[in-house]
Amino acid sequence: MKKFITLLLVICMIGAFAGCSPKETKKDDSGDQNVTSNGDEKIYIPVISKGFQHQFWQAVKLGAEKAAKDYNVEITFEGPESEAMVDKQIEMLETALSKNPSAICLAALDSQAVIPLLERAQENNIPVIGFDSGVDSEIPVATAATNNLAAAALAADKMAELIGEEGKIALVVHDQTSRTGIDRRDGFKNRIEEAYPNIKIVDIQYGEGDQLKSTDIAKSILLAHPDIKGMFGANEGSAIGVLNAVKELGKQGEVTVVGYDSGKQQQEAIRSGEQAGAVTQDPIGIGYKAVEAAVKATKGEEVDKDIDTGFHYYDKSNVDSEDIQALLYE
């Protein structure tokens, strides 16, 4: 009898210890360790940008990583090698969806091409947050971005002032498929056409945000229209391409250059007088607010549909001011 009672006690003790074992982490069907044994999900948010080739995206990445740390969530940040690689970005989005994330942050290269995948995300209750570049769809629960129409209109006003509100100008834009490309082109173009009848836009070309391609395009425009007074570069790569073309053709002092974004090369060109000025966004703020909105959306909290991250115009007079320095990046 004593042996029997002792055996029962041993069995009960083993059962008690088994019941107190630590919580195990189980893998979901995709192989990712984001589901715990009690059903809780670890917040995982893939952040898919337009690319990695510009300092702008590295600054966005810094902001996204800061938000991930502040909110104690896991993120990944990736983008194609070139902003012309729409298919590559779509592959990245497909891969991200296959991992059943808590939410997705996306800066779409082609605002139409991604819609079928966003519909899949919606069907699987995965909140989508747009950043930098919006999507022509109501699926994203929020978009953290600069008001590119207004920012480009400001750039147009500055250009008009600098060239005396008359003369020929041209635009080099990164693309005509993303929301940023469309809005920056139209914001600048519409403002010139509405407010400055003596300024003529003689050409608009697209360089895919690539410095070399944008340089070649800008040179061809300048050779075709040697009396151009100003050129607008609608993103970092476009602006650097314009600067290169003006320098290579010896037109410094003849062509006024206004840019967009605020990497090191544009800053140096503005300080030296080669570039008149540029519109700066808040790339760190864009990355931070995108991830922040994604976290809130996963928790069912209310987020603003349009999150305006702001913009400022800077030139030689204020490039080193405290307010502007906080928005620039190396």
**DSSP of 17-54:** HHHTPPPPEE--TTS-S-EETTS-B--EEEEE-S-SSS
Spatial CB neighbours of 26, under 8 Å, sequence gap ≥ 6: 33, 35, 36, 37
pLDDT value at position 326?
A: 86
Residues 290 and 245 in one domain: no
Residues 153 and 142 in one domain: no
CATH of the domain at 88: 3.40.50.2300
Nearest in space to 173 (alpha carbons), one of 207, 215, 210, 134: 207
- Tell me, what DSSP letter sits at residue 262? -
pLDDT value at position 218?
A: 98
Split at pLDDT 50, 70, 90, the class of 89 is: very high
Query: Comparing 135 with 313, which gets the higher pLDDT?
Result: 313
Residues 117 and 191 in one domain: no
Percent of the chain with pLDDT over 90: 81
pLDDT value at position 182?
A: 96
Split at pLDDT 50, 70, 90, the class of 16 is: very low
- The tokens describing 306, both together, are 């349009």
Residues 136 and 190 in one domain: no
For residue 190, count other CB atoms closer than 10 A to its CB. 14
Residues 187 and 118 in one domain: no
Mapped onto helix, strand or coil, the DSSP state of residue 264 is helix
The pTM score is 0.80
Residues 168 and 182 in one domain: yes
For residue 2, pLDDT beyond 50:
no
The string of pLDDT tens digits covering residues 212-239 is 999 999 999 999 999 999 999 999 999 9
Residues 177 and 290 in one domain: no
* Kind plus residue range of the DSSP H or E element containing 184: helix 179-195
Query: Comparing 53 with 82, which gets the higher pLDDT?
Result: 82
Span 310-325, mean pLDDT? 95
Cα 222–chain centre separation = 30
Residue 179 lies in a domain: yes
Residue 14 lies in a domain: no
Range of the domain at 175: 148-280
